[in-house]
């Protein structure tokens, strides 16, 4: 088991290095000058050159890249241009908000998808199955940036039931979590239905039915229990997707998480902050995928043997 974990961990390191390198190159190649953003267009040339030198932006690109990697090895993510504060502190002040939102969205996703997928598999070809199919098609075709404003217009502006934006009480979590969770629920519902159909066609299910066991026992204690392994794997992968994909939702709902912080870093050309945000998002995604692989191997030993 330890050998399997170490092998999976070592395979993640090149992926992280590639992500960091691509982000570093892209933000330096894209037109725009962070010094002009900080000083404004009317700044004197001497002030511009002095600030660029103090930030190390006058060095060759390979020197800046080497300096960034050396800082990263020491655990130093640099100083934010915009906030004039350590990037590590800024990120970890915002990261809990993203974790909370992603976790609640995953609960919403599972609460919708698992019952709907089980029902669709049990009622295959019937009205319930077709209704679930329409729901999943609608969910796949309706992106977050469209669903979020629609929910705000209906529940916040028309009905006045829920806050529009911000992170205050429990009600502030409802709309962002629903926006994130509903989109992924459509994907997971199809996965649950497919896994349940495969189990329901197995010999042991037919044997259980022949013994006279109730539908509840056959569905939940037999078929769903064996279908749970791929479902758990998908949930783990979707949690990583949620952590990496909250940028649009956090921007819509003014959520003070790392996704919105990434957008602010892009708009202000804050190189260290943007690199730090992308690093944390990438590490989070890779860590969740790694833990999912390990958990899958614990449940199913055949994964380790292969």
| pLDDT tens, residue by residue, 38-76 | 656 666 666 667 766 677 777 787 888 888 888 888 888
- Same domain as 136, residue 41: no
Position 299 confidence tier, pLDDT thresholds 50, 70, 90: low
Kindly state whether residue 293 falls inside one of the protein's structural domains.
Answer: yes
Asked if residue 106 and residue 204 are part of one domain, the reply reads: yes
**Partners of residue 79 on adjacent β-strands:** 86
pLDDT one-digit tens code per residue, 207-252? 877 877 777 777 777 788 777 777 877 887 777 777 766 778 888 8
- Give 152-172 pLDDT, tens digit per residue: 888 888 888 888 877 777 888
Long-range contacts of 151-160 (CB under 8 A, 24+ apart): 151/175, 151/178, 151/179, 152/252, 152/253
Q: How far apart are the C-alpha atoms of 122 and 209, rounded to whole Å?
A: 13
Q: Considering its fold, how many domains does the chain have in total?
A: 2
| 48/191 same-domain check | no
Has residue 10 been placed in a domain?
no
Same domain assignment for residues 153 and 281: yes
Stretch 288-303: mean pLDDT: 70
94 in a structural domain: yes
Give residue 305's pLDDT: 47
DSSP 87: H
Indicate the range of 48-52, 144-148, 266-270, 272-276 predicted with least confidence. Answer: 48-52
Residue 92's pLDDT band (boundaries 50, 70, 90)?
confident
Q: Radius of gyration (Cα) for the chain, nearest Å?
A: 24
More confident residue, 110 or 59: 110
Q: In terms of domains, do 52 and 152 share one? A: no
Whole-number pLDDT of residue 187: 84
Asked if pLDDT for residue 137 goes beyond 60, the answer is: yes
Domain that holds residue 224: 88-305
In a domain, 182, yes or no: yes
> Which pairs from 264-268 meet CB under 8 Å and 24+ separation?
264/82, 265/80, 265/82, 268/34, 268/37, 268/81, 268/82
User: What average pLDDT does range 7-15 have in this prediction?
Assistant: 78
Please check whether residue 188 is in contact with residue 235, taking contact to mean a CB–CB distance below 8 angstroms: yes
pTM: 0.78
Mean pLDDT, the chain, whole residue set = 80
Instruction: Indicate if the pLDDT at residue 36 is higher than 70.
Output: no
Long-range interactions of 136-142: CB distance < 8 A, separation 24+: 136/186, 136/187, 136/189, 136/190, 137/186, 138/186, 139/182, 139/183, 139/185, 139/186, 139/187, 139/189, 140/186, 140/187, 142/183
Q: What is the pLDDT of residue 135?
A: 83
The token pair at 7 is 């092998």
Instruction: Supply 113's token pair.
Output: 């998808």
pLDDT for the residue 39: 59
Cα 24 from Cα 42, distance rounded (Å): 28
CA angle 221, 224, 225 (to 5 degrees): 60
**Higher confidence at residue 297 or residue 86?**
86
Whether residue 218 sits in one domain with residue 187:
yes
86 DSSP β-pair partners: 79
Indicate if the pLDDT at residue 306 is higher than 60.
no
Q: Let me know if residue 25 belongs to a domain.
A: no
**What does the alpha-carbon distance between residue 196 and residue 125 come to, in Å, rounded to a whole number?**
14
Q: Is residue 168 part of a domain?
A: yes
């Amino acid at each position: 088991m330890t050998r399997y974990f170490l092998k999976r961990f070592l395979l993640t390191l090149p992926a992280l290095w590639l992500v960091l390198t691509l982000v570093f190159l892209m933000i330096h190649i894209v037109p725009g000058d962070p010094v002009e953003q900080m000083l404004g267009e009317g700044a004197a040339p001497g002030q511009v050159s002095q600030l660029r030198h103090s930030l190390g932006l006058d060095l060759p690109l390979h020197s800046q890249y080497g300096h960034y990697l050396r800082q990263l090895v020491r655990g130093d993510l640099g100083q934010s241009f915009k906030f004039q504060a350590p990037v590590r502190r800024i990120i970890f002040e915002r990261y809990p908000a993203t974790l909370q939102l992603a976790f609640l969205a995953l609960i919403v996703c599972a609460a919708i998808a698992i019952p709907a997928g089980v029902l669709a598999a049990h009622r295959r070809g019937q009205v319930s199955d077709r209704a679930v199919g329409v729901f999943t098609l609608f969910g796949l075709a309706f992106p977050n940036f469209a669903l979020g404003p629609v929910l705000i217009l209906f529940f916040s502006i028309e009905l006045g039931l829920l806050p529009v934006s911000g992170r205050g009480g429990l009600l502030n979590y409802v709309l962002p979590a629903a926006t994130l969770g509903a989109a992924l629920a459509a994907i997971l519902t199809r996965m649950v239905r497919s896994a349940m159909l495969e189990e329901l066609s197995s010999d042991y299910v037919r044997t259980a039915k022949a013994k006279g066991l109730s539908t509840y026992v056959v569905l939940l204690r037999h078929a769903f229990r064996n279908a749970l392994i791929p479902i758990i794997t998908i949930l783990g992968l979707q949690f990583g997707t949620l952590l990496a994909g909250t940028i649009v939702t956090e921007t819509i709902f003014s959520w003070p998480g790392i996704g919105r912080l990434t957008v602010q870093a892009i708009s202000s050309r804050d190189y260290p902050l943007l690199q730090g945000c992308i690093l944390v998002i990438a590490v989070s995604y890779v860590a969740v995928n790694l833990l999912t692989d390990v958990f899958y191997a614990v449940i199913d030993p055949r994964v380790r043997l292969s």
